[in-house]
């Protein structure tokens, strides 16, 4: 007797609000339910904040339900005002199109889009050719402006201003749901908590135009213990695209979480049993972070990359549980053994940003300051100078104190120059003849 996936989601902290909880739970405990989540093509990559709905979709798909992912090719042109204090800049059509393509491939990493699997649709297909007057007469008449004005997303913007364009977003998303309900048998829409208003509108519309009962579910906005939006710090978002956030950095992001966030994030971002997520945190918080980081990296970048990142991290910082004492269903302990046996747990260059220098570059005897800047460890010469003055600059693991230090061929070790800023930021230059 397997657990109802509804309970799984609840237990793992995915549920924020649902409509008609009792019925929805019953449906999800039974035969296949077709459900959908919409994604806006606003960036070239999704970040960890976008991952929550995807993880939920995977849980549901594993439980035998049928996911539909909607790429907002049409709605993206309007821009969802939900949860935003001001209008975001509109992307042009080319950019949107590109982003849609990126979204598709990224979703494919998590969901199974095989024959009987998940479906991927673009709402441009049914919204793109809508006739304005027809739309107003068929769909617009079901909406009450009075009601729309009470939506949180609208109220928020009544203060600062809301364009008519954005005001219409809600109608389009509601229309999506109605279309999916009618043509694809979709009865559940899920989304972030700021989507509640849009989802409820869709449920109403589906009932009015096709007399169908549908359901809605929202996920909490994931925040860290400091109350900040998760995965999108000032320093930059944590992207799932390796080009933008390398697997090593991705791993490090999880490894460096605040203690208080680990259990919560493990439930959301791994598939380990919820009870285990609590247990490992209880047993050894640092091991729990390693397991979380490994599992999360595995899900996004695949097992080989996760192993590499883990190996590099252990080599750099040591292991939190060298003897594998902590019980876990993760295959990290076996990976541990394998790495140990093959002697791979030594200083590794994997994942460390590397760029190249030529011998003629070195003949000009560049200053340390210049190399630090070139390595992106400092944004300007002044910053590099500061770094050195404050004792945060390392050349070949040796702390540098002279801001005027010049780099020569003697600093090349085994064809490389190793730079470090602070404890964690590394860069390697490989030196080649030209």
Report the interface residues with RNA, using CB under 7 A: 159-161, 226, 233-235, 252, 255-259, 285-286, 289-290, 313-314, 316-318, 369, 379-383, 385-387, 390-392, 404, 421-425
CB nearer to RNA: give 318 or 409: 318
Measured CA to CA, the distance from residue 72 to residue 93 in angstroms comes to 12
Smallest distance, Å, CB 153 to RNA? 17
Residue 349 is encoded by which pair of tokens?
A: 């260059």
CB nearer to RNA: give 14 or 250: 250
CB nearer to RNA: give 382 or 408: 382
Smallest distance, Å, CB 81 to RNA? 13
Smallest distance, Å, CB 378 to RNA? 8
Smallest distance, Å, CB 376 to RNA? 12
Smallest distance, Å, CB 385 to RNA? 6
CB nearer to RNA: give 335 or 381: 381
Smallest distance, Å, CB 259 to RNA? 5
Sequence-distant (≥ 6) Cβ neighbours of residue 337 within 8 angstroms: 324
Measured CA to CA, the distance from residue 250 to residue 286 in angstroms comes to 17
Unique residue bearing structure tokens 């292991």: 319
> How far separated are the first and last CA of the chain, in Å rounded?
67
Beta sheet of 215-219, edge-to-edge order: 17-18, 215-219, 186-192, 34-39, 66-71, 119-122
Cα dihedral 73, 78, 84, 87, rounded to 10, equals 130
Q: How far is CA 165 from the centre of its chain?
A: 28
CB nearer to RNA: give 219 or 251: 251
Smallest distance, Å, CB 57 to RNA? 29
Measured CA to CA, the distance from residue 138 to residue 125 in angstroms comes to 18
Unique residue bearing structure tokens 């904040």: 49
- For residues 370-389, one letter each, b for 16 or more C-beta atoms within 10 angstroms of the residue's C-beta and e for the rest, the string is bbbbbbebbeeeeebbebbe
Q: 3-state SS string over 357-410? A: EEHHHHHCCCEHHHHHHHCCCCCCHHHHHHHHHCCCEEECCEECCCCCCECCHH
Smallest distance, Å, CB 387 to RNA? 6
Smallest distance, Å, CB 232 to RNA? 12
Measured CA to CA, the distance from residue 315 to residue 409 in angstroms comes to 27
Query: Residue 217: enclosing H or E segment and its boundaries?
Result: strand 215-219
CB nearer to RNA: give 226 or 337: 226
CB nearer to RNA: give 200 or 311: 311
CB nearer to RNA: give 267 or 427: 427
Q: Helix, strand, or coil here: 342?
A: coil
CB nearer to RNA: give 46 or 377: 377
């Amino acid at each position: 007797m397997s657990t109802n996936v509804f309970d799984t989601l609840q237990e793992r902290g995915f549920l924020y609000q649902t409509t008609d909880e009792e019925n929805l739970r019953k449906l999800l405990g039974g035969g296949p339910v077709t459900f959908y989540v919409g994604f806006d093509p606003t960036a070239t990559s999704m970040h960890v904040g976008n991952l929550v709905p995807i993880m939920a979709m995977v849980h549901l798909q594993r439980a035998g339900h049928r996911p539909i992912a909607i790429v907002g090719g049409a709605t993206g042109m309007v821009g969802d005002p939900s949860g935003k204090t001001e209008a975001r800049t509109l992307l042009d059509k080319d950019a949107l199109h590109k982003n849609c393509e990126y979204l598709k491939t990224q979703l494919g990493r998590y969901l199974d889009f095989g024959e009987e699997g998940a479906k991927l649709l673009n709402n441009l297909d049914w919204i793109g050719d809508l006739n304005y007057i027809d739309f107003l007469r068929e769909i617009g008449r079901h909406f009450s402006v009075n009601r729309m004005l009470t939506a949180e997303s609208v109220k928020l913007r009544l203060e600062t201003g809301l364009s008519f364009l954005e005001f219409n977003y809600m109608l389009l998303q509601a229309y999506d749901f109605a279309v999916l309900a009618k043509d694809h048998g979709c009865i559940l829409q899920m989304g972030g908590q700021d989507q509640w208003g849009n989802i409820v509108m869709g449920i109403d519309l589906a009932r009015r135009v096709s007399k169908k009962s549908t359901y809605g579910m929202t996920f909490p906005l994931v925040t860290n213990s400091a109350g900040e939006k998760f995965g999108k710090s000032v320093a930059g978002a944590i992207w799932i695209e390796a080009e933008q956030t390398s697997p090593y950095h991705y791993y490090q992001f999880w490894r460096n979480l605040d203690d208080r966030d680990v259990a919560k994030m493990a439930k959301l971002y791994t598939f380990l049993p919820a009870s285990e997520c609590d247990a490992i945190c209880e047993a050894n918080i640092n091991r729990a972070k390693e397991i979380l980081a490994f599992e999360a990296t595995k899900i996004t970048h695949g097992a080989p990359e996760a192993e590499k990142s883990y190996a590099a991290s252990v080599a750099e910082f040591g292991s939190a549980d060298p003897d594998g004492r902590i019980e876990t269903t993760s295959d990290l302990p076996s990976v541990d053994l394998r790495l140990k046996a093959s002697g791979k747990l030594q200083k590794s260059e994997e994942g460390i940003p590397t760029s190249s220098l030529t011998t003629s570059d070195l003949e000009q005897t560049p200053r340390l300051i210049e190399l630090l800047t070139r390595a992106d460890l400092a944004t300007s010469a002044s910053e590099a100078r500061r770094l050195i003055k404050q004792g945060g600059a390392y050349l070949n693991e040796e702390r540098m104190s002279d801001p005027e230090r010049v780099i020569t061929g003697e600093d090349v070790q085994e064809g490389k120059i190793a730079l470090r800023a602070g404890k964690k930021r590394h860069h390697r230059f490989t030196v080649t003849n030209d």
